[in-house]
């Protein structure tokens, strides 16, 4: 157990995204059809005294090929102008999960409201403004959608893929769901179920600025480059050791700490279910921009819009039921 300064903020998520300038190398058909989990890679890491982390053949990806794994990491470069400023199953929707679940956490932190917001709303309804739906998206644009359109609750619009990835390769890949704008429950109204972010912003890449943001406001969404060895992560403080670049990934950054060996790390949660990594979590080296983890950090503050309406409605009900 490391001496952890980690600030843990409730729920967590991982995400599939399109990150700045990430254009993974083209791989041969032979490589794409090979298994993502290689004993040789695990051995190379575990026999390296400088690695600082443990690799394992994780059952989560035991039947995945490199090509199938890459589907979770679809990448499109972020427009240059932007550089200035539940298991995901069959759909590459992590960019949406990262934003929505970070905002959900921030509602709890700032307003003491335990609410689960809808990833499906953002994924289905943001359209080309956010990217390509199940084929990837831009985190900062996801946050901007949360400002302009908000998202309904999970109860109103649950995630469309309830099957998940319990079978090999997660086939078939699903298309982006249609934007319906109607709650599945007849007792809920779409507009009244909307919850918003006040703003959408990027945090400077300085680790101290990132830590200050998490400490003050809660989890943030971060993007980083995934290499082949990351799929084998089991425990310890990850840093890239071996394997080809596969694509971009987004996760929720929830805290930080220092290991027993004195290595600074970020603490993150990944939604490749609890059998992957350290009970679904992972640590990555802090302060060196490992795999670009400190380059693309996005967030937003929760809005009271519709929260006030909920309080007002509750107050009205209390008045209606009162005896004078």
Give pLDDT tens digits for 175-226: 888 999 999 988 889 999 999 999 999 999 999 999 999 999 999 999 899 9
Give dist(CA 68, CA 61) in Å, integer: 9
Which is the catalytic residue, given 15, 94, 125, 183? 94
Give dist(CA 292, CA 230) in Å, integer: 14
Q: Do the strands 233-238 and 245-258 form a parallel or antiparallel pair, or are they unpaired?
A: unpaired
Tokens 């083209």 found at: 26
Q: Residues 262, 263, 264, CA angle at the centre, nearest 5°?
A: 115
User: Is 270 labeled as catalytic in the residue annotation?
Assistant: yes
Which contacts qualify for 305-308: CB closer than 8 Å, 24 or more apart? 305/150, 305/194, 305/195, 305/196, 306/150, 306/192, 306/193, 306/194, 306/195, 306/196, 307/111, 307/113, 307/195
**Sign of the CA dihedral with 319 first, then 185, 149, and 141 last:** positive
Domains in the chain (CATH in brackets) are 3-316 (3.90.70.10)
Alpha-carbon 48 to chain mean position: 30
Which is the catalytic residue, given 58, 270, 273, 291? 270
Which is the catalytic residue, given 130, 134, 249, 273? 249
Q: Residues 17, 243, 227, CA angle at the centre, nearest 5°?
A: 15
**pLDDT, position 165:** 40
This prediction's pTM: 0.80
pLDDT tens digit sequence for 214-263: 999 999 999 899 999 999 999 999 999 999 998 888 889 999 999 999 99
**pLDDT, position 17:** 42
Give dist(CA 247, CA 75) in Å, integer: 6
User: Is 249 labeled as catalytic in the residue annotation?
Assistant: yes
**pLDDT, position 68:** 79
**pLDDT, position 137:** 87
Cα 199 to Cα 226, 246, 253, 316, 318, distances in angstroms: 29, 32, 19, 30, 33
Give dist(CA 161, CA 163) in Å, integer: 6
Give dist(CA 134, CA 175) in Å, integer: 6
User: For each successive 10 residues of the chain (324 residues), what is the average pLDDT?
Assistant: 43 38 67 88 94 89 82 55 42 83 95 94 92 86 96 93 44 76 90 96 97 98 92 96 89 95 94 85 97 96 82 47 40
DSSP E strands: which ranges in 159-214? 201-203
Buried-state track 154-182, b at ≥16 Cβ within 10 A, e below 16: bbbbbbbbeeebeeeebeeebebbeeeee
Q: Is the peptide bond before 38 cis (omega within 30 degrees of 0)?
A: no
User: Is 130 labeled as catalytic in the residue annotation?
Assistant: no
């Amino acid at each position: 157990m490391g001496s952890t300064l980690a600030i843990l903020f409730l729920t967590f998520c991982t995400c599939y995204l399109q990150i700045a300038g990430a254009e993974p190398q083209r791989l041969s058909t032979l490589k794409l059809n090979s298994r993502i989990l290689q004993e040789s890679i695990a051995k190379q890491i575990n026999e390296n005294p400088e690695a600082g982390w443990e690799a394992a053949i994780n059952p989560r990806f035991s039947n995945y090929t490199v090509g199938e794994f890459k589907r979770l990491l679809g990448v499109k470069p972020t427009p240059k102008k932007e550089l200035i400023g539940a298991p995901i199953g069959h759909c590459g929707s992590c960019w949406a999960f990262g934003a929505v679940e970070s905002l959900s956490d921030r509602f709890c932190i700032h307003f003491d409201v335990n609410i689960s917001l809808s990833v499906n709303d953002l994924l289905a309804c943001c359209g080309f403004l956010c990217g390509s739906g199940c084929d990837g998206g831009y985190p900062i644009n996801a946050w901007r959608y949360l400002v302009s359109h908000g998202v309904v609750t999970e109860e109103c619009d649950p995630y469309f893929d309830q099957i998940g990835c319990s079978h090999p390769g997660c086939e078939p890949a699903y298309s982006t769901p249609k934007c319906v704008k109607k709650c599945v429950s007849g007792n809920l109204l779409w507009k009244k179920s909307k919850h918003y972010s006040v703003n959408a912003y990027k945090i400077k890449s300085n680790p101290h600025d990132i830590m200050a943001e998490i400490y003050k406001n809660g989890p943030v969404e971060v993007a980083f480059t995934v290499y082949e060895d990351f799929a084998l992560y089991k425990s310890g403080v990850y840093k890239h050791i071996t394997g080809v670049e596969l694509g971009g990934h987004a996760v929720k950054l929830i805290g930080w700490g220092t290991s027993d060996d004195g290595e600074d790390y970020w603490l993150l949660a990944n939604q490749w279910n609890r059998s992957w990594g350290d009970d679904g979590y992972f640590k990555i080296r802090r302060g060196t921009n490992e795999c670009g983890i400190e380059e693309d950090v996005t967030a937003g503050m929760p809005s009271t819009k519709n929260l006030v309406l909920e309080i007002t409605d509750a107050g009205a009900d209390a008045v209606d039921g009162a005896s004078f």
